[in-house]
Amino acid sequence: MSIKKIVSNSIAFLFLFQCVRAQEGIINNVETPVDWVNPLIGSDSDHSLSNGNTYPAIAMPWGMNFWTPQTGKMGDGWAYTYSATKIKGFKQTHQPSPWMNDYGQFSIMPVTGSLKFREYERESFFSHKAETVTPYYYSVYLADHDVTTEIAPTERAARFRFTFPETKDAYIIIDAFDNGSYVKIIPKENKIIGYTTKNSGGVPENFKNYFVIVFDKKFTVNKTFNGDILLDSLETQAFHSGAVIGFKTSKGEKVNAKVASSFISYEQAERNLKEEIGRDDFDEIKEKGRDVWNTELSRIKVGGGTSAQITNFYSGLYRSLLFPRKFHEFDAKGKVVHYSPYNGQVLPGYMYTDTGFWDTFRALFPFLNLMYPEVNKQIQEGLSNAYNESGWLPEWASPGLRDIMVGNNSASVVAEAYLKSEDKVNPNIENLYQALVHGANNAGPLRAVGRLGVNYYNTLGYVPYDAGINENAARTLEYAYDDFAIYKLGLALNKPKTETDIYKKRSLNYKNLFDSQNNLMRGKNSNGEFQAPFSPFKWGDAFTEGNSWHYSWSVFHDVQGLIDLMGGKKVFVNQLDNVFSLSPIYDASYYGGIIHEIREMQIANMGQYAHGNQPIQHMIYLYNYAGEPWKTQYWVRETMNRMYKPTPDGYCGDEDNGQTSAWYVFSALGFYPVTPASDQYVLGAPLFKNIALKLQNGKEIIIKADDNSDRNRYVKSMKVNGENYTKNWLSHSELLKGATIDFEMNDSPNKRRGTDKEDLPYSLSNE
């Protein structure tokens, strides 16, 4: 063989080797998305530093009840932490976040040997090596008791399977928790019933979560407990009640239990058990749950990414489908009913809860409107019911009205759902519109309901810094966007121009807080003077869990207006750049200490960009409005790479009811809803080589980016349905018709694409 041929063959082999190596770890096809979900992502957190503040939610999508292993003490918001070494029980939970804590919770725990029912005695060592965690199935080996516990949930019920050793001392503890509870053992039926009233607020006086648990083995031990006192009785009602049942087991014997609960009654709990469990055994419930999750997750298929990226994506999608949770049930006639967390009555219709709109209006609800509008229609009916039952729309519901966070962002959630619906048919929309008008013009019974400072806002055009109202600038900025949402909904409903003009004018109130000297938003006193001294690095005070560098971009509906205030695109882009180039310095004096959100910004090594909290999460996409979309493309990919990991510490702050996950899901698709109450998504760049979205109406959105890679993160060119496309946005209504979107990716930015005026996304100032 000639030297020339040897060299030629060697070059060819080297090229082939490099191509193969480049594809190592690339997953081109995902058949069963649920297998890529890791519910433990974000669980390595505590109150001082959040890496997600999540727990493994063993649940169905939007399920009324979740289950989770309990490592924390009774009442601890950090119910499960990855670093823990002992499990105290398996808890039915309705907790949306550790900061909101739980309600209606109780736990089940198997033990062996000497009877130990107190949680600090019954707990057992466990290892993540002997733990299996999926959305639809959980299993763990409890070393101190030599018992394996398995859980398979439905929406309102679950099956448990306990594998015991050979022992005459096998027990199961049912802990109904403190704050008022009741248990009753019914030996003839192998049944335990009870209720818990434990909650963290937001409930009527008659609140109870009724539960029923049925075993497949006769009880040889029947006891109850009152606090730390074990009783030889079948029934106990006390501040802290529980039950103990026991039996003799052979080696490897499996004891099964089925459990359901209801916020309505014992009879309804029995009905939920019958309807959702029926005759299905553990494995059948497990497989049904797996099928449900695969069906929902398969609405979006991604390929051409690393295993880490695919795990992050489907784990984020899983988190995006948990909240808001169903709070309704089905009565004996199969009709939808709910216990009202607002007035304590049992009423007809849907009800959803456990979400804070301050977080979720930004990306989570836009995601539901795109991919799961059938669910959001039920949520909207539930919001109409909430207004009828309480006189207000919730801003943070868990399960009823809660007094936390700022803004009147129910306006965005309601308006967007109608504006983005295909048929524009919502029998509750007039009632909901009146609810928005009522909330926009009145202070509510709680500081976080309606609009605190509404009289100042409606007369001065802002909530003053010196009016004794905390986080006044944040309120002003969010009220302005909320007014825009009401304005847009009013137009769609053909409301009188005199009415819609009020909200259009108020939506420009953000201008009243713009400080041209600093090119940032700033608190303003009632006399029209800016508050002083001013530090843009001061957290809290005029802002909510952030500083001026974070909140100055909260002009979701009129970025062009903000550009004009700053003096043009160059200055605007420079200010955006400064967010990343500044040091992560901070002033925590308002809080009297460093809150976890500050620490999470500080350690992220992204300057003042605080992705771990919601106010700034849309900011990266604003380069598109100033004709420099390549900077959005760079920073979106950088944030996905650095701030999201498929690990227990994988988030960079609170995950918050699907919001931070929905940001990742949208960004991986290549677009993001900067202005939810508009028809547009602002472009970034897709994370994967191929993506397929199956819409509810049967249409498909196909996204292709064949040359996509970590280096090729820039959009060189783009086609929509085969036509060249230079705009920096996509239309929601056009996407609903189905679309094929082709991205040509490159390792260097195309600084000519997306720079013309007609390419820029929507701003109110350009109407």
Tokens 């439905």 correspond to: 154
CA distance 231 to 18: 72
- Kindly state the DSSP code that residue 34 receives in the 8-state scheme: G
C-alpha triplet 526, 450, 65: angle, nearest 5°: 140
**C-alpha distances out from residue 650 to 284, 311, 366, 602, Å:** 32, 11, 24, 16
- Kindly state the DSSP code that residue 391 receives in the 8-state scheme: S
Nearest to 352 by CA among 399, 305, 306, 282: 399
Low-confidence stretches of the chain (pLDDT < 50) are 1-23
Tokens 């009013």 correspond to: 490
For residue 79, give the 3-state DSSP assignment: coil
In a domain, 406, yes or no: yes
The residue out of 245, 265, 297 marking a domain boundary is 297
Which range of residues forms the domain containing residue 43? 26-297
Q: What is the CATH number of the domain that holds 558?
A: 3.30.2080.10
- What tokens were used for 293? 């999750």
CA distance 600 to 654: 10
CA distance 674 to 589: 31
DSSP lists the bridge partners of residue 124 as 87
Helix, strand counts (H, E) of the chain: 20, 38
Tokens 């009297």 correspond to: 592
Q: What are the b/e assignments for 259-294, b being 16+ CB within 10 Å?
A: bbbbbbebebbbbbbebbbeebebeebbebbbebbb
Who's near 354: CB < 8 A, 6+ residues apart? 94, 96, 100, 323, 324, 325, 327, 397, 398, 399, 657
Q: Is the peptide bond before 427 cis (omega within 30 degrees of 0)?
A: no
Cβ pair 353, 397 in contact under 8 A: yes
In a domain, 257, yes or no: yes
Query: For the chain, how many residues are written?
Result: 767
- What tokens were used for 251? 């080696």
Q: Are residues 228 and 367 in the same domain?
A: no
191: how many CB neighbours lie within 10 A of its CB?
A: 16
Q: Are residues 754 and 611 in the same domain?
A: yes
Cβ pair 155, 285 in contact under 8 A: no
φ and ψ at residue 640, rounded to 5 degrees: -65, -40
Q: Are residues 715 and 592 in the same domain?
A: yes
Cβ pair 205, 341 in contact under 8 A: no
- What tokens were used for 158? 């679950």
419: how many CB neighbours lie within 10 A of its CB?
A: 20
Q: Are residues 279 and 347 in the same domain?
A: no
CA distance 549 to 547: 5
Instruction: Sheet containing 66-70: give its strands across.
Output: 66-70, 89-93, 106-112, 167-175, 241-249, 221-226, 229-231
Tokens 């082709």 correspond to: 742
CA distance 321 to 655: 13
509: how many CB neighbours lie within 10 A of its CB?
A: 20
Q: Are residues 506 and 629 in the same domain?
A: yes
Cβ pair 658, 319 in contact under 8 A: yes
Alpha helices in 644-689 (DSSP H): 659-669
Structure confidence at residue 13 (pLDDT): 39
DSSP lists the bridge partners of residue 714 as 746
Angle between helices 410-419 and 364-371 (to 10 degrees): 20
Nearest to 331 by CA among 288, 252, 272, 277: 272
DSSP string, 84-105: --EE-EEEEE--S-TTT--SS-
Q: Are residues 595 and 708 in the same domain?
A: yes
The residue out of 266, 297, 328 marking a domain boundary is 297
In a domain, 13, yes or no: no
Q: Is the peptide bond before 324 cis (omega within 30 degrees of 0)?
A: yes
Structure confidence at residue 21 (pLDDT): 36
User: Side-chain half-sphere of 186: how many Cα atoms within 13 Å?
Assistant: 9
501: how many CB neighbours lie within 10 A of its CB?
A: 12
Residue type, 431: N
- What tokens were used for 224? 């109850």
In a domain, 5, yes or no: no
The residue out of 247, 264, 297 marking a domain boundary is 297
Structure confidence at residue 646 (pLDDT): 98
2: how many CB neighbours lie within 10 A of its CB?
A: 7
CA distance 439 to 412: 12
Cβ pair 213, 192 in contact under 8 A: yes
Residue type, 318: Y
Q: Are residues 341 and 280 in the same domain?
A: no
For residue 18, give the 3-state DSSP assignment: helix
CA distance 133 to 259: 20
- The count of domains in the chain is 2
H or E segment and range at residue 361: none
DSSP string, 503-545: HHHHTTGGGGGEETTTTEE--B-TTSPBPSS--TTB-STTSSS
Q: What is the CATH number of the domain that holds 267?
A: 2.70.98.10
CA distance 554 to 610: 14
In a domain, 326, yes or no: yes
Q: Are residues 395 and 291 in the same domain?
A: no
Q: Are residues 281 and 236 in the same domain?
A: yes
In a domain, 307, yes or no: no
Range 423-428, long-range pairs (CB < 8 A, 24+ positions): 424/492, 426/377, 426/380, 428/380, 428/381, 428/383, 428/384
Structure confidence at residue 20 (pLDDT): 37
Who's near 413: CB < 8 A, 6+ residues apart? 357, 360, 361, 365, 383
C-alpha triplet 592, 53, 173: angle, nearest 5°: 115
In a domain, 104, yes or no: yes
Q: Are residues 336 and 369 in the same domain?
A: yes
Q: Are residues 331 and 230 in the same domain?
A: no
Question: Three-class SS string for 409-460?
Answer: CHHHHHHHHHHCCCCCCCCCHHHHHHHHHHHHCCECCCCCCECCCHHHHHHH
Structure confidence at residue 25 (pLDDT): 85
Q: Are residues 343 and 287 in the same domain?
A: no
Alpha helices in 559-714 (DSSP H): 559-566, 569-581, 596-604, 629-643, 659-669
- Kindly state the DSSP code that residue 461 receives in the 8-state scheme: S
In a domain, 3, yes or no: no
CA distance 337 to 115: 41
Nearest to 123 by CA among 152, 177, 84: 84
CA distance 95 to 140: 22
Structure confidence at residue 18 (pLDDT): 38
pTM of the model: 0.96
Structure confidence at residue 24 (pLDDT): 52
Cβ pair 331, 309 in contact under 8 A: no
Q: Is the peptide bond before 533 cis (omega within 30 degrees of 0)?
A: yes
CB-neighbour burial class of residue 297 (10 A; exposed 0-12, middle 13-18, buried 19+): buried
